[in-house]
Structure 1
Amino acid sequence: MTLKAIFSDIDGTLLNSNHQITEETKKAILKVVNNNIPFILVSARMPSGILHLQQTLSIDSPIICYSGALILGPDNDNGEKTIIDSTSLLQTDVQKLYKIVNELYSSINISLYSHNQWVVSDSQNEWVIQEMEITNATPIHRQLPSFIEENHAIHKCLCMGEPQIINQLESTLKDKFANLTIYKSKDTYLEIMSGNVSKSNAIKKLENLYHITNQEIMAIGDNFNDMDMLKYAGLGVAMGNAPDEVKVIADEVTLSNNENGLKHTLQKYFD
């Protein structure tokens, strides 16, 4: 198999449990990039939560944000990232989502993401503070109904809460919104995007840019929202810390994110 591009998840894959890139993993990535193999970060994160990791790695490939709802390319003449593709939620769907969460699941924290803005109604909420610490992102405090009313391009809704409540919310929303992409990125996080958003669809949009096919792609990830890209790629690699449902659909399983599993896989195929 000739691999010509790598698409890597971030949390639980590139980063260890301390939310860090180890020096060993960084060296393995740079070795691949120096051999003209693009290393593309694919994440449910907002742009700023990905760009600082790109800088750490000294790479300048496109980034796939919000699990594919927003794809950004190199800087334009104004120093802003080029928008390669953008898929936002319908305003009416966001309004319905907010009403359901606000009225039926009051313990759930809901955030909205628009381009590089993370919008919250309570910046002191424990879930918001936790997400700030993980992603190094800073939220904007707004009343969410008025923000929704302004009809911004909302790429993602994030609901955070205790696992049992998140499971109940997931069931409710999937029953009411068959047209949306709804999944848990971990047991306390429920992510909601437009129905045609997925990591694999985003990868397809970059294949022409790199003149590659899916059979020439390695995808590596650790969670449920990575499953479609692992199945789509010519080589889909699940992390050792992935749930069994993810491992079973992958072509192979590497070590965990705390054992430099990404580095191990890169060395296996590119050394």
Structure 2
Amino acid sequence: MMKLVKSKYRIIALDVDGTLLNDRYELTSGTVESVRMAHDAGARIVLCTGRGPANAIPVLEQMKLDGVLITHNGAVTVETPSRRLLHQISFQVAELESLTVYCRERQVHFDVCTAWEMYAEGIGEEAKAMYAKFMLTPHIVPDVLRHAEPLVKFTLFGSEEQMDRVEADIPALELPPSLTAIRSGVHFIDVMPAAASKGEALKELAALWGVDRSAVVAMGNYYNDVDMIRFAGLGIAMDNSPEDVKKAADAVVPSNNEEGVRFALQRYVLS
């Protein structure tokens, strides 16, 4: 057992999928122990994820922690255990009519999210298996374009080849300049407000808590993590990250399947 010391880091921002969880979507006991030790050493643990609150909060609860989570890639910040919505950046689904029609015509699976809920027009077998892994059950609706409540994210899902094609086609769809598309995983593209990002949300949270960026650690593994990795005083990439993500980091640690978060916390935070 490592001797507990007071950490110089006051915020530890952790991406969830591909970083905190292994590829079986599991939290290992060693990772949980290290995260809790960092918490006990005085650091606030902040999950920063593309997930929504509904399936991000259980990950925090599994570690027997509560606090603040940055979700939907920075579009929504919530507090637990109160489940209070602290911050939201949203848009109207009508702004993505061209993308919705594109997805329907090319049979690209998509869903839309409010801060707390998810909606889809249908679910095939591959999408059903994906949602099961992420502990999600979208509401099925006949036409998402009729949705009146503000949205925070529009997500496309498919094979790597299909997402590569979509990524190449998106510029021709002329999305409003207030929205941006980001590759949030091999099989995912998220379209959301350009003003929202994990890095901006983390920056605002650090300012709210009076924490200098030098006292912030951020760990991630994909392109939607790059801005928070660059913002943090110590930005860490998992070894399973693409090369451009690794280049943005101050350090690269073992992969999510090799308890990279545990390794990083023991080397940089708890030593």
Query: TM (normalized to structure 1)?
Result: 0.91
- Conserved? CA contact 1:71–1:86, under 8 Å: yes
Equivalent residue in structure 1 for 2:36, among 30, 34, 45: 30
Q: Which residue of 2 aligns with 1:121?
A: 121
Number of aligned residue pairs: give it: 262
Q: Which residue of 2 aligns with 1:156?
A: 153
- Matched ranges for 1:1-271 at <5 A: 2-76=8-82, 81-103=83-105, 105-106=106-107, 108-123=108-123, 125-145=124-144, 148-175=145-172, 176-177=174-175, 178-271=177-270
Q: Structure 2: 5+ residue runs without aligned partners?
A: 1-6
Q: How far apart are 1:216 and its partner, in Å?
A: 1.4
- Conserved? CA contact 2:238–2:254, under 8 Å: yes
Identity %: 24
Q: How far apart are 1:155 and its partner, in Å?
A: 0.8
Task: Measure, in 1, the Cα distance between the counterparts of 2:171 and 2:229.
Answer: 23
- The 3-state SS of whatever aligns with 2:149 is coil
Q: How far apart are 1:229 and its partner, in Å?
A: 0.8
Task: Measure, in 2, the Cα distance between the counterparts of 1:129 and 1:143.
Answer: 17
Q: How far apart are 1:266 and its partner, in Å?
A: 0.4
Q: How far apart are 1:95 and its partner, in Å?
A: 2.2
AA in 2 matched with 1:93: E
- The 3-state SS of whatever aligns with 1:12 is coil
AA in 1 matched with 2:94: T
AA in 2 matched with 1:109: H
**Which of structure 1's runs of 4+ aligned residues deviate more than 3 A?**
none
Q: Structure 1: 5+ residue runs without aligned partners?
A: none
- Conserved? CA contact 2:109–2:158, under 8 Å: yes
Task: Measure, in 2, the Cα distance between the counterparts of 1:187 and 1:174.
Answer: 19
The verdict on how the C-alpha distance between 1:127 and 1:118 changes in structure 2, with shifts beyond 3 A counting, is farther
- The 3-state SS of whatever aligns with 2:65 is coil
Q: How far apart are 1:75 and its partner, in Å?
A: 4.4
